[in-house]
A and B are shown apart, each in its own frame.
Chain A
Amino acid sequence: MKLPPLDYIRPVTLAEAIAILAAHGGDAKAIAGGQSLMPLLAFRLAAPELLVDIGRLPGLRHIDISVEGVDLGALVTWRDIERDARLTYAHPLLAAAIAHVAHYQIRNRGTVGGSLAHADPAAEMPGIAITCDALITVVGPNGTRMVPANEFCLGGLSTVLEFDELVTNVRLPPWKQNRRWAFEEFARRRGDFALAGVAAFYDIDQNGTMRDPHVGVIGVGDRPMRLSVVENLLEGKSLDAGLILQAAALARDAVDPTDDIHAEAAYRRDMVGVLLERVLARAGNIVLMEAA
């Protein structure tokens, strides 16, 4: 499990990093925390000629909180998020979801940009980005483009990123006051990739009905996804136990997981329903008498 032969370079500016990636025409690979790429190299599932270490590029490790939302630099680590007490108020869903990422060692190294670029379908960060309608900033030789999170992932471990582009930051829209939310995921062991995970939030209008509900799932398809049928069901209604069960049933039908060695597809499909019930019950402070 030694790395294949490769060269290594650590550019000091973003422009330099982009230029190096562009010059190598797809044979170079950016590396930051290395938590996804290093195992791929060790298993020789990836064999780039050159590793471009972007870990020390300046200006990419900020957590900016403003009226425009929460802006995370690509080099922000899970530990940075965990330690930033402001996020508990500025974006509690993000803080709660990131608390599920892996273990100490990985949390100290793994980065927001790396997770987005790797696009594991069970990873929390891409799931939160999609659930929250985040905007991802991508920089390449031709400049900067903003990619809506729901257009970023193309499939399993595949994104719109070109070989010479880097994620520089991701912006989550501002978190409204009194927003109701919850996050649940189910993993075999603490810190493992989720077999299924559900994030949901909504606002409440003066009539007590739900406005602008967002529901996202991870781990049950080739990419994280929004459950728009569920969001449509919830919009404008007030939450009760019956509606929760209805939402869970729709959610089960809306996902299309596959079998793998950890779980059969039917299990993951059912977990989406179970977790959505629990998420909505928690968000709405509703006691569900679970049939069991």
Chain B
Amino acid sequence: MNNVSQLLVGHPVERMEDARFLSGSGLFVDDLERDGMLHAAILRSSIAHADIVSIDTSAALRMPGVHAVITAADIGGEIPVIPLRLAPLPEFEPFRQPVIAADKVRYVGEPIAVVVADSRAIAEDALEAIDVQFEALSAVTGRGATEDALFACADDNVSLRYSAGFGDADAAFANADYVRTERFSVQRHTALPMETRGLLAEWDSSSARLIVTGATKVTFYNRRALAKMLDLGQDDIDLIEIDVGGGFGVRGEFYPEDFLIPFAARKLARPVKWIEDRREHLMAINHSRDVACELSIACRSDGTMLGLRGAVFSDMGAYIRTNGGVVPAKAAQFLPGPYRIPNVSVSVETFMTSKTPVGTYRGPGRFEANFFRERLIDMVALDLGIDVAEIRRKNLITEAELPYPIDGLVPYEGPTSYDTGNYVEVFERALLEIGWRDKCHLQGRLIDGVRHGIGLGCFVESGGAGPKENAALTLERDGSLTIAVGSSVLGQGLETVLGQIAADTLSIPFDRIRVLHGSTTLLDEGFGTYHSRAVVMGGSAVLDAAKKLREKILEQAANHLGRPNSELTIADQHVVAANGASVSLAALATEQVLSADGTFANTTRTYSYGTHAAHVTVDPRTGRVEILDYVAVEDVGRAINPAIVHGQAIGAIVQGLGGVFFDHLVYDEEAQLLNASLADYLVPTASDFPRLRAVTLELRPSLTNPLGAKGAGEGGIVAVAAATANAVAAALTPLGVEIHHLPLTPPRLWRLIKDARDRTPTAA
């Protein structure tokens, strides 16, 4: 086997992608040009809820350079609807989104027509010439019945209700020393990948085949969906994944454009490119979060948690898209978090509004649930006079209690258990890192005009969704290795990580490995990248293939060298026998095709866990919050590449802080989106949060996969609101302020402080 010192797994290997990206030679979908290529722009509804009376495209069609204007009338037959990819509950079926609005629009941004023209500029000119007559209906902006219901089947605009739980919450609450109930909410926002969506669709009339470039995340699923809609065979469509500038859950799901652009290309028999601009991105890509919760806790007077009740209310927007009810389901499931709470009851209500549909965004439901629960725990600690660290320590699930079943919190999912871990040790590490013992006396203190607060947030979070993943490895005739994998690359460094795994098994230098990913041309089937699954599933599939390929290589070398397999090792791109005879990998690959397919099937989830701690100051006069120190500690089981995991964690913290302080999709009472530009939709920039730290631990490997890896891309975001809001709340506790709602903008904190003062004029 390999010399241990040469192993790449576990080392911060430089990303093989970086030279390409940093030198500007990455290839993104908008970099592609084709002969005869046309450009598409999409007419999107300007009003939130209306009947479409008429669409007149004649003026647009007469404009020079315009090749087609496609409306629902041109689709022919029934308008396809976007399928439910995850947890396809029958209750959601009436609320699925048609790929183009035919006679009704339900949100600002819903596609009404597609213009295809010689340039994007001409296409946009033509959009202005399309005359749509609307009969306005009343917009639905919140929970509850409205004058004009969005769907005939739901007078109250509710699409799903369920209850779930374990233990006996009613009894626990009835017998508890102490109960408290609070309402919390997380605002609607979205992931905002740097690269907006884009597609290039090419129809080859002679072979009746379609190639769509710009696909990612779940390409094989999307191909199945598209084939059905276009009445083509799956093999008639290739979805090609090239470089992708960020996904975070929102990018790569099946959207209306994933039908409309290929449809246009086939109709015109010309390549058609569509690149989403930032304005349409903000109104068209999945929104997320937007969850409210009424949360109750029952405790003994010593802080021992006995029961939890949570009612989750989720604004799904105008349609249920591919992700179904994942956001509220996970918000409900993760309400108990890493704590020993024997009696839990949750309920979920999803309701429809006249807003952009909701989907998953990095840490879906977890970001929200951790915020709700960790805030309530701090309130309990304050009420009971217990230190906020002590109450967590007392209730965290101990290692002896693992695996810890959390069955039944999602009624349509099977049993699941928190797997391996040492929650307490990681918690103590976070306290040590933030300097809890030395700093906790600062809580709420006013120093030089600002108040200090230190907050904690604990989490446990699932990853590694099944059912399986596939990989195919080929030893090329020049001795290099090609890896093909069904996992998708979204800019997260997957090529490097998979290369490391294969390099270790096959002793092939890292720079002689090429990773092909995502495209439907590579494998018969792939499952993609979501739910922190690419390393757990894709990495394990590559490992499986690499082991098989190694056996084949050794077998071929055994034939070549006339020595038994057991005497052979791979070193320096050669197979070497104990007697010193050797043959190059290139020679072996020339003698015989050397390739191997690998697969990894598993439906048992991994559970990463950790604690975040934040030290902030709040200027009580302006509401400005400064992060003085922030540390996220997470056990990911095994970090294939610690540098990449660290980057993921830091990036996730920044993104989470955006959700705490900036990101907010603001709608008015007519359900108009008021900030569909980066001038008004604020996101963190490089200078906003300079002091962040992440500590990645490998305490307890996962037992579900041979790598021992757990999901590592989402733990950095899921407890950010929890820890940060607790820190802000701790800073403002002396002023009588409690935090229930995000975002924590300066004007909002100012308002909370002012209202608290007005309630008790004598307070400090």
Contacts and interface: CB of A to CB of B under 8 A. Distances in A.
Interface of A: 1-5, 39, 43-44, 103, 186, 188-192, 195, 261-264, 266-267, 270-271, 274, 290, 292
Contact of B745 (A3, A188, A190): A188
Nearest to A268: B747
Nearest to B119: A2
A188 B449 contact: no
Interface string B103-142: 0000000000000000111001100100000000000000
B688 A190 contact: yes
A2 B685 contact: no
Interface string B678-699: 0110101101100000000000
Given A261-B666, A261-B674, A188 B682 contact: yes
Contacts of B760: none
B750 A270 contact: yes
Contact of A274 (B622, B684, B754): B622
Nearest to B624: A186
Tell me whether chain A's interface is mostly helix, strand or loop, or mixed.
loop
Contacts of B277: 1
Contacts of A267: 623, 746-747, 750-751
Contacts of B270: none
Contacts of A263: 745-747
Given A267-B750, A292-B620, A2 B121 contact: yes
Given A1-B279, A3-B121, A189 B688 contact: yes
Contacts of B121: 2-3, 5
22 contacts: A2-B121, A2-B124, A5-B121, A39-B679, A43-B279, A43-B677, A186-B624, A189-B682, A189-B688, A190-B688, A195-B746, A261-B675, A263-B747, A264-B747, A266-B751, A266-B754, A267-B747, A270-B750, A270-B754, A271-B622, A290-B621, A292-B620
B761 to A, nearest CB: 12
Given A2-B120, A274-B621, A189 B747 contact: no
Given A2-B121, A43-B677, A292-B451, A188 B750 contact: no
Nearest to A275: B622
Contact of A292 (B621, B682, B745): B621
A146 B148 CA distance: 58
Interface string B606-626: 000000000000011111100
Given A2-B124, A3-B121, A189-B688, A264 B746 contact: no
Interface string B256-287: 00000000000000000000011100000000
Interface of B is mostly: loop
Nearest to B668: A261
Nearest to B677: A43
A5 B117 CA distance: 15
Given A1-B279, A262-B745, A292-B449, 4 more contacts: A39-B677, A186-B746, A261-B666, A292-B621
Interface in B621-647: 621-624
A5 B620 CA distance: 49
Interface residues of B, number: 37
B662 interface: yes
Contacts of A195: 746-747
Contacts, number: 72
B446 interface: yes
A262 B666 CA distance: 10
A8 to B, nearest CB: 14
B751 A189 contact: no
Given A1-B278, A267-B747, A292 B446 contact: yes
Contacts of A44: 124, 128
Contacts of B677: 39, 43
Nearest to B674: A261
Given A186-B624, A261-B674, A271-B622, A192 B747 contact: no
Given A188-B662, A188-B746, A4 B125 contact: yes
Contacts of A2: 119-121, 124
B449 A290 contact: yes
B285 to A, nearest CB: 15
A258 to B, nearest CB: 13
Interface in B525-581: none
Contacts of B446: 292
Which 10 A-B pairs rank lowest in CB-CB distance, beginning with the nearest? Answer: A2-B121, A263-B747, A267-B747, A1-B277, A292-B620, A261-B666, A274-B621, A2-B124, A261-B674, A190-B687
Contacts of B623: 267
Contacts of B279: 1, 43
Interface of B: 119-121, 124-125, 128, 277-279, 446, 449, 451, 619-624, 662, 666, 674-675, 677, 679-680, 682, 684-685, 687-688, 745-747, 750-751, 754, 764
A292 B620 CA distance: 6
A186 B622 contact: yes
B574 to A, nearest CB: 52
Given A5-B125, A292-B620, A190 B685 contact: yes
A261 B119 CA distance: 35
A266 to B, nearest CB: 8
B39 to A, nearest CB: 10
Contacts of A188: 662, 682, 745-746
B124 A189 contact: no
Nearest to B675: A261
A227 to B, nearest CB: 19
Nearest to A2: B121
Contacts of A1: 124, 277-279
A43 B451 CA distance: 42
Contacts of B687: 189-190
Given A43-B279, A261-B674, A292-B446, A189 B685 contact: yes
A189 B750 contact: no
Nearest to A265: B747
Nearest to B688: A189
A290 B602 CA distance: 60
Nearest to A103: B685
A262 B515 CA distance: 45
Contacts of B119: 2
Nearest to A3: B121
A265 B308 CA distance: 40
Nearest to B687: A190
Contacts of A274: 621-622
A5 B764 CA distance: 60
B531 to A, nearest CB: 32
A125 B751 CA distance: 30
A189 B662 contact: yes
Contacts of A261: 666, 674-675, 680
A279 to B, nearest CB: 13
Nearest to A259: B747
Contacts of A5: 121, 125
Contacts of B278: 1
A274 B121 CA distance: 47
A2 B278 CA distance: 11
Contacts of A266: 751, 754
A44 B754 CA distance: 40
A22 B446 CA distance: 60
B378 to A, nearest CB: 22
Contacts of A39: 677, 679
Contacts of A262: 680, 745, 747
B659 to A, nearest CB: 14
Contacts of A103: 685
Nearest to B123: A2
B270 to A, nearest CB: 20
Contacts of A190: 685, 687-688
Please indicate which of the listed interface residues A39, A43, A190, A267 has the most CB atoms of chain B within 10 Å of its own CB. Answer: A267
A257 B746 CA distance: 17
Contacts of A189: 662, 682, 684-685, 687-688
A266 B754 CA distance: 11
A247 to B, nearest CB: 16
Contacts of B679: 39
